[in-house]
């Protein structure tokens, strides 16, 4: 298979990924609006899988064409980040069995593909040989681990943002997990909004992440059911966000260390306070504070979720923002092709 055929395959898979993500995003939003139609969610999951396969094929074709791991320019990097977000999304959805995750993650993945497909110039999309600075075995180790960490941290932060939206205008739920940091709701009490005498009381024992969860619902029956569903949803999102950020944090730590070793090999210094280095350290500290607050301080609920939302913005600044706002040692190969 020659280079022109590989390029044609990449264009086809690029368009297929964009179309599949558009369909998947629409289906997930419809599934959120019409919860009694589970087929919508199943179709959305299928479209997400098609998008993941399309991106996988595109990256594979680019790897064959250029004979190096496809993270050397912005086009390749965006698609690899999209692949990471989709892979983490599908894994998280399978783990948590929560439909709401895709409502937030798929628009982000769609935005990545749309930006790379319709905004970047043909020169920025084209594959080619590596610049001398990137001809190193550290390329795959450092860049791939960093982007994979961005994918896990982004999805975890988006789930935290979903938690904030679900609990919007509500008193921060009292989360007292017996296993610190798991995000389990141990007790949630809901009273009638108008403070009237309750029409019914419902007691339920639910299996939570921190053990048996006792939920006391003091309200009318419809309000009780709604409160219970919201409690279960918030618990799932809080727990899932914590676990995903817990996955991404070691990856970004390893990626930063690998980058420092590569920098010393290439530039003679482990740390140069380059804009991307500085922002990667800022991002590391934000998520370190998030995990410290949850594990050591016992924070749960809205406060750590707000910290994760700040981390989401910081990840984007680290990954993309500094390449447009500042010039540094990491600027090559991103804004002007190879």
In a domain, 45, yes or no: yes
Distance CA 64, CA 6 (A): 8
Number of domains in the chain: 1
Q: What letter would DSSP give residue 104?
A: H
Task: Supply angle C-alpha 212, 214, 218, rounded to 5.
Answer: 165
User: What range does the domain containing 56 cover?
Assistant: 1-129
pLDDT of residue 202: 36
In a domain, 235, yes or no: no
In a domain, 51, yes or no: yes
In a domain, 20, yes or no: yes
In a domain, 86, yes or no: yes
pLDDT-flagged residues of the chain (< 70): 133, 169-231, 324-338
pLDDT of residue 52: 97
Give the three-state DSSP class for 217: strand
What string of DSSP letters covers 133-154? GG-STHIIIIIIHHHHHHHHHH
pLDDT of residue 171: 59
In a domain, 79, yes or no: yes
In a domain, 65, yes or no: yes
pLDDT of residue 322: 74
pLDDT of residue 5: 86
Break the chain down into helix, strand, coil percent, rounded to 5: 70, 5, 25
Place of tokens 């932060």: 157
In a domain, 329, yes or no: no
Residues 218-237: tens digit of each pLDDT: 444 445 445 545 667 788 88
pLDDT of residue 187: 37
Task: With beta carbons less than 8 A apart as the criterion, state whether 11 and 117 touch.
Answer: no
């Amino acid at each position: 298979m020659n280079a022109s055929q590989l390029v044609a395959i990449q264009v086809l898979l690029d368009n297929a990924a964009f179309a599949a993500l558009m369909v998947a995003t629409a289906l997930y939003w419809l599934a959120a609006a019409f919860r009694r139609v589970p087929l919508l969610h199943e179709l959305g999951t299928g479209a997400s899988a098609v998008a993941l396969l399309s991106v996988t094929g595109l990256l594979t074709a680019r790897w064959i064409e250029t004979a190096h791991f496809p993270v050397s320019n912005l086009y390749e990097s965006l698609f690899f980040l999209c692949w990471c977000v989709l892979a983490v999304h599908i894994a998280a959805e399978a783990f948590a069995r929560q439909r709401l995750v895709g409502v937030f993650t798929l628009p982000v993945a769609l935005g990545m593909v749309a930006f790379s497909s319709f905004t970047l110039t043909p020169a920025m999309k084209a594959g080619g040989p590596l610049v001398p600075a990137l001809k190193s075995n550290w390329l795959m180790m450092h860049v791939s681990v960093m982007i994979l960490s961005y994918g896990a941290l982004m999805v975890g932060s988006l789930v935290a943002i979903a938690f904030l939206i679900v609990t919007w205008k509500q008193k921060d739920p009292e989360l007292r997990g017996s296993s610190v940091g798991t995000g389990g709701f141990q007790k949630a009490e809901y009273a009638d909004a108008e403070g009237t005498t309750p029409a019914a009381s419902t007691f339920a024992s639910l299996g939570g992440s921190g053990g048996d969860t006792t939920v006391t619902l003091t309200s009318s029956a419809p309000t009780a059911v709604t409160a219970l569903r919201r409690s279960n949803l918030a618990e799932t999102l809080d727990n899932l966000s914590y676990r995903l950020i817990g996955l991404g944090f070691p990856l970004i730590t390893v990626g930063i260390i690998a980058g420092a070793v590569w920098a010393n090999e290439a530039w003679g210094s482990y740390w140069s306070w380059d804009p991307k280095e500085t922002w990667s350290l800022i991002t590391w500290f934000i998520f370190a504070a998030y995990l410290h607050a949850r594990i050591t301080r016992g924070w749960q609920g809205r406060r750590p979720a707000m910290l994760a939302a700040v981390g989401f913005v910081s990840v984007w600044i680290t990954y993309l923002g500094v390449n447009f706002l500042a010039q540094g040692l990491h600027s090559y190969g991103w804004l002007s092709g190879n």
